[in-house]
Structure 1
Amino acid sequence: MFMRSAKTFVPDSLRGLIASTDDISWNPDPGYLMRAHPLPREQVAIVSGGGSGHEPLHAEFIGEGMLTAVCPGLVFTSPNALQIHEASKAVDVGGGVLHIVKNYTGDVLNFGIARELLREDAIDTDVVLVDDDLASERADGNGPGRRGTAATVVVEKVCGAAAERGDSLAEVVSIGRQVAESARSMAVALAPCTLPGATEPSFDLPAGQMELGIGIHGERGRERVDALPAPELVRRLTDPIIDSLQLVRGDRVIAVVNGLGATHPLELHLLFAELGEYLDQKGIRIERPLVGTFVTALNMAGASITLVRVDDQVLELWDAPCSAPAWPNSPARTYSAVGPSGSFGPTYTPPTTPTDNESAGPWVAAWAQKVLDQEPALTDLDRRAGDGDFGTNMVAALEQLDLTAMRDSYSTSTAFDAISQAYLGHAGGTSGALFGIWFRHFYRAAGNGRFDLAAVTTAARAGLDNITTLGGARPGDKTMVDAIVPAVEALEEAVRSGTTYDTALRQAANAAHAGAESTEAMIANRGRASYVGEAARGVIDPGALVIAWFFECGTGH
């Protein structure tokens, strides 16, 4: 974690926030943030706050159409009553002050005491308590009740918009409580968070497991399970929400998929796609989506799902303009499912050509199967010497192939055409382009008639020349070229000496393996491995190894 000191972590961060925004000012004594531009007279002021570590909540939601002031505590620690009291006094312009409070004991107590102090100042105040987290709900009704989590953003947005249009304090409170009562959330963690200065995470979570029902202060969940695929995970999180809100077909909701701090947008959008399809099956209509990182638990890897039952009045406020830094500037106003995608990229339809008497289809299929089986090992090699995506790119291409049809019915040209197009259309990156063009030359050679040793040699030489021209790699650069060059030289020597087909391929395979093994001692000059320098030494280049397997699988076919 980046920091100067664990003790100054929060104020150091606030310095950067203030320096990078226009409409937020900092009052260090006693410690609150507020809009730099005062509200119009008689407008309701919206004050919120809580422990730091949940950013962008609350500080980055200060702005026109949302919050007026925020009181930050230390990490995962509620602000004190004097902060809240002074912030509320500073922003009151005669319309009263609304406190939006997450349901945690410290927050509830300190905001409550601040309202007592504000009554001494004859300032009209009220509160909306957000308690959406189902994981902390007890069947017996005892305890502090549901925690306040991601639904807080929805309440803040709706109340801020109501205040901005001129609603009275009582009206803003009414709509805020309606939204809070109509919201429920559930969260999951893939990895816990670690507090500033701490040497251990907030709880232990073994690799390959998920913690369901975690809290945003690093609390462990109520259930630990083996990692679930996204569709099942979404159901596990969403069903309790649907049951608690008693949602039925025809109900309308705002759906929030929120990242907990260390979750990539690709993951969040994937979860939202699954959520949208699941709700659509149940006839529950998503009126507005909100996907992103809004309420975090520091650097926790995980996500939460929030559903809020809405009507036209709430949607009007949701759609109102907002200038807060963290509010998305182009939120969708409708939801439309795109349906399951599975994958993207061109599909391949094999031509209706008869199988060759000596088809190379079994050769190509055997090689493809070996690469698929060895994906973990290839990924590990690339992780140690590059960026770790080589195995993934191989699978992205090869899983497109119908290996059974390739073995049993594809002609040689069809087999190489299919694998070339799979790489060019699905693998992406450098490896996809280079393997795609490599196999394209075998397809071209197969189209000239009998696919004999001369054709294999011609294809390999043309592929090598094209790869070196496109990528610039030469022997010694720690790339696939280190395996292709000796293989091509062995094939050309075999053609000159009249060696049999199988023997020539075996010699090419041996030469390619020797070339691949030689990369272990090299420092890369090309490709992603070149970025890590000495760190790549001692690791065989996975591309060179895969080329060696290709010639090896050709023997006996």
Structure 2
Amino acid sequence: MISAKHFINDPTKLVYQAIKSIPLLNPTVSVDEANKVVYRNHYDSSCARKVSVLSGGGAGHEPSFVAFVGEGMLDVAVSGTIFASPSPSQIYSALGALDRRRKRVEGHSVVMILMNYTGDVMNFGLAAEKAQAAGLKVDMVIVSDDVGVGREKGGKVGRRGIAGTVLVHKIAGAMAEEGCEHEEIKRMAELATENLVSVGASLGHVHVPGHDVSHDTLRTDEIEVGMGIHNEQGFKRMKIPDTTELIKLLLGQLLDENDADRAFLGKISKEDEFVLMVNNLGGVSPLELGGITVEVVDQLGSVYQIKPKRVYSGAFMTSLNGNGISITLLRLEDGEMLQYLDAESRTLGSPSSMHFQDWYKVRKEVDTKADTAKEALATTYKKSGLKLDLKLFQDVVTAGVKNLIDAEKEITKYDSIVGDGDCGIGLKRGAEAVLELVQSGQLGDDAAVTMQKIAEAVERSMDGTSGAIYCCTQDGSERPVTMHDWYTAALSAQQSLSKYTPARPGDRTLIDALFPFLKTLNDTNGDLYAAVEAGRKGAESTRGMKASLGRTVYVGDVGDVPDPGAVGVVKLVEGLGEGLKNNSRRN
């Protein structure tokens, strides 16, 4: 049974309070509260670091990611809401905070390390592109270490990134601290990822503060093997075995060379050396975790003749208060990996504690305002000369976002069954931000500028995968605004997204509703009502459809539940259609 009891029940307040606690405990970091960014506030004069390491993801995984900021690990981390990716705007702000170093360090660049989740890949990718256009060198390393998702089930989306990501953070951070070159750090981080495998098991799902208690079919005598760190279902449920049998099963998932679906390390030789990490998902007592760690080490030696060069045990990548564990093995493919894992680090989340001298260092006043963090990478609105009927535009958009807001409970219900329950809330946040912008009187009649402002509002307020999709806009062409122009701009944004996601109709994503809507809009020369109907049919087609992308991939049979994102698209465009119809009646 899921416990719904929390000391702080407001999820938004909870995340902001947790972020604010970091500099209280570590005097070497500062916080951009508005963007939920934690970054190093000073560098020692002896530090040769010219490559910055950035990471981030949804809240709820602490100490990942914000507590890994500090000497020897991350330079900056950015947090989304609970279990949802930070928005491109937040990530761009984090890059802006780093870019100020470029004024002092010639050739400064950034290596991003993120986990393989659709929203993370898209949002970090979009922010990286904006930073690259502003002249900052940025590369992404995507970690996918979870063997709980085999090759067949992973499909297009591939394996999830879970606790092994922490070891990649440590290696890359130590290399950057030592002054290694950008390409060298990127290569080593990618090599570590290729030699990294993890798998988890949990005795129950977790409850996100502020959410209704979602369904949980895991019985009190069952354990779930391979469950994701966002409440995604695993690959197997079984009666709780004794510890020996459980660890035997998990190590088999990691190391069985005959399992074609999961033998991601390939052939393992007697000369291979490994590092072991036993991770607490948040709710396991240190006493029990110690017992599990011993069992893992014993079986590695007796069954696989592996004696780990290093053993790490603790809470590194949690799932709120998840009553579960994960096991990670890193094959030391390069002899220097161990050197970097052993290097000193001063962060709240790393095994080494803070040095007392840090409390006595003189801290410079650091301006943590959001605008200052983005100063070096400022946005410039590009006018198109395309004129809007502003009153009509505002009426139609208002109707669309209000309809989406009203649908939040329905969408959340669907996503609680097939995902992690945040889709409806995320869409509602974005819709409310757009509504506030429309009502503020800040919009003008230039189509391109107006859409850029709406995209920024969505970026600031909306996390997760859908946020990245809804915030993609393009400038218009040098012609009067027509329905075809809107279609062309949306299609261009969709093509841009394809660089970060292979989602197509039939993959059970919001594209199943968005694509037929846009195509019909174009084919009918702007018949919005026909396009809405096509989108509605597309969303309905996702009922019972096997997912190829997104977190639903890991759920299995979804029954008669439609894709929540596709439903969100339909609710929005239905509202737009009603707004247009009502405006026509008044006129």
- CA drift at 1:327: 0.6
1:24 maps onto 2:45 in alignment = no
Q: Deviations over 1:519-547 (max 9, x none)?
A: xxxxxxxxxxxxxxxxxxxxxxxxxxxxx
1:228 maps onto 2:255 in alignment = no
1:257 maps onto 2:262 in alignment = no
The question of whether the paired residues in 2 share the 8 Å contact of 1:33 and 1:70 is answered with yes
1:318 maps onto 2:323 in alignment = no
Q: CA 1:140–1:272 in structure 2 vs 1: closer, same or farther (change >3 Å)?
A: closer
Runs of 5+ unmatched residues, structure 2: 1-5, 102-106, 257-262, 354-587
- Counterpart of 2:323 in structure 1 is 301
Distance (Å, rounded) in 1 between the aligned partners of 2:64 and 2:230: 13
Alignment of 1:267-278 (within 5 A): 267-278=288-299
Q: Deviations over 1:394-414 (max 9, x none)?
A: xxxxxxxxxxxxxxxxxxxxx
**Match of 2:11, SS?**
coil
1:107 maps onto 2:120 in alignment = yes
The question of whether the paired residues in 1 share the 8 Å contact of 2:280 and 2:325 is answered with yes
- Paired letter, 2:30: S
Distance (Å, rounded) in 2 between the aligned partners of 1:265 and 1:200: 27
Distance (Å, rounded) in 2 between the aligned partners of 1:28 and 1:200: 29
- Counterpart of 2:508 in structure 1 is none
Distance (Å, rounded) in 2 between the aligned partners of 1:60 and 1:143: 32
- Counterpart of 2:53 in structure 1 is 46
Runs of 5+ unmatched residues, structure 1: 331-557
Distance (Å, rounded) in 2 between the aligned partners of 1:319 and 1:50: 25
Alignment of 1:356-435 (within 5 A): none
- Counterpart of 1:529 in structure 2 is none
Which residue among 112, 123, 134 is the counterpart of 1:121? 134
- Counterpart of 2:80 in structure 1 is 73
- CA drift at 1:317: 0.5
Distance (Å, rounded) in 1 between the aligned partners of 2:178 and 2:64: 23
**Match of 2:151, SS?**
coil
Distance (Å, rounded) in 2 between the aligned partners of 1:140 and 1:193: 24
- CA drift at 1:115: 1.1
Distance (Å, rounded) in 1 between the aligned partners of 2:177 and 2:216: 42
The question of whether the paired residues in 2 share the 8 Å contact of 1:248 and 1:283 is answered with no
Distance (Å, rounded) in 1 between the aligned partners of 2:11 and 2:75: 28
- Counterpart of 2:202 in structure 1 is 189
Distance (Å, rounded) in 2 between the aligned partners of 1:187 and 1:202: 21
- Counterpart of 1:469 in structure 2 is none
Distance (Å, rounded) in 2 between the aligned partners of 1:64 and 1:237: 34
Distance (Å, rounded) in 1 between the aligned partners of 2:9 and 2:223: 32
Distance (Å, rounded) in 1 between the aligned partners of 2:134 and 2:48: 18
Which residue among 215, 234, 252 is the counterpart of 2:228? 215
- Counterpart of 1:292 in structure 2 is 314
1:97 maps onto 2:80 in alignment = no
Alignment of 1:449-464 (within 5 A): none
- CA drift at 1:240: 1.6
Q: TM-score, normalised by structure 2?
A: 0.55
Distance (Å, rounded) in 1 between the aligned partners of 2:215 and 2:97: 36
**Match of 2:351, SS?**
coil
- CA drift at 1:230: 0.9
Distance (Å, rounded) in 2 between the aligned partners of 1:269 and 1:177: 31
- CA drift at 1:268: 1.4
- Paired letter, 2:86: P
Instruction: Report how many residues are paired.
Output: 331
Relative contact order (alpha carbons < 8 A, sep ≥ 6): 1 or 2 greater?
Answer: 2
- Paired letter, 2:298: E
Q: CA 1:182–1:202 in structure 2 vs 1: closer, same or farther (change >3 Å)?
A: farther
Distance (Å, rounded) in 1 between the aligned partners of 2:97 and 2:132: 14
- CA drift at 1:137: 2.8
- CA drift at 1:111: 0.7
Q: TM-score, normalised by structure 1?
A: 0.57
Q: CA 1:31–1:13 in structure 2 vs 1: closer, same or farther (change >3 Å)?
A: closer
Q: Deviations over 1:424-455 (max 9, x none)?
A: xxxxxxxxxxxxxxxxxxxxxxxxxxxxxxxx
**Match of 1:188, SS?**
strand
- CA drift at 1:4: 5.7
Q: Which structure has the bigger radius of gyration? A: 1
Distance (Å, rounded) in 1 between the aligned partners of 2:165 and 2:251: 18
Which residue among 39, 42, 60 is the counterpart of 2:67? 60
- CA drift at 1:277: 1.1
The question of whether the paired residues in 2 share the 8 Å contact of 1:25 and 1:35 is answered with yes
- CA drift at 1:249: 2.8
1:87 maps onto 2:108 in alignment = no
Distance (Å, rounded) in 2 between the aligned partners of 1:146 and 1:273: 27
- CA drift at 1:68: 0.4
The question of whether the paired residues in 2 share the 8 Å contact of 1:136 and 1:146 is answered with yes
